[in-house]
Amino acid sequence: MTSKDPPPVKGLQVTPLTQCAHWHSPRDIIAIRHRCCGDYYACISCHEALAGHEPQVWPKAERDSAKAVLCGSCCHELTVAEYLACDNACPRCGAAFNPGCSKHYDLYFET
pLDDT at 2 over 50: no
For residue 33, give the 3-state DSSP assignment: strand
The H or E element spanning position 50 is helix 44-50
pLDDT at 98 over 80: yes
Percentage of residues in the chain having pLDDT higher than 70? 97
Which residues in 1-111 belong to E strands, given as ranges? 9-10, 30-33, 40-41, 67-71, 77-79
DSSP lists the bridge partners of residue 79 as 67
Lowest mean pLDDT among 2-11, 28-37, 39-48, 51-60: 2-11
